[in-house]
Amino acid sequence: MSAKNFKETTLYKKAFAQAMEIFQISKSFPKEEKYSLTDQVRRSSRSVCANLAEAYRKRQYPAHFVSKFSDCDAENSETGVWINFALACEYINEDSHKILIERNEEVGKLIAHAIKNPEKY
């Protein structure tokens, strides 16, 4: 994340793309899910990006940086759970689920790298 702007990072770009894909897919979820699954998966996926922005501002303080990235990791993990619920409830098909989970795991690996190597950021 040595970029001057966190929005230039691979992690941010992938997390943002994931959140936008989830937004598009969740538009087709049933109305009765509006205040549960739909809101939750949108919120957690967007929180990855928001926490990344906060982490970037705190990178001169390694403990704070890692703490915010830990928040990113938690939100990303939560997003994965909601994606699994969407499949179990048959709101998405197996192909969409596979793509979303693969992206979610990729974001998770990038977050883990930042947590393990804060000095590189």
Span 73-99, average pLDDT: 98
Span 100-121, average pLDDT: 94
Kindly list the domain boundaries of the chain, sorted by start residue.
6-120
What is the reported pLDDT for 3?
Answer: 53
**pLDDT grade for 121, boundaries at 50, 70 and 90:** confident
Q: Measuring CA to CA, which residue among 26, 30, 27, 120 is closest to residue 82?
A: 26
Q: Measuring CA to CA, which residue among 70, 73, 71, 80 is closest to residue 22?
A: 80
What is the reported pLDDT for 1?
Answer: 46
CATH number for 6-120 (one of 3.30.700.30, 1.20.1440.60, 3.90.105.10, 1.10.3720.10): it is 1.20.1440.60
Span 47-52, average pLDDT: 97
Span 61-88, average pLDDT: 96
Half-sphere exposure (Cβ direction) of 10: Cα atoms closer than 13 Å: 11
Mean pLDDT of the chain: 94
pTM for this predicted structure: 0.92
Number of other residues whose CB lies within 10 A of the CB of residue 37: 19
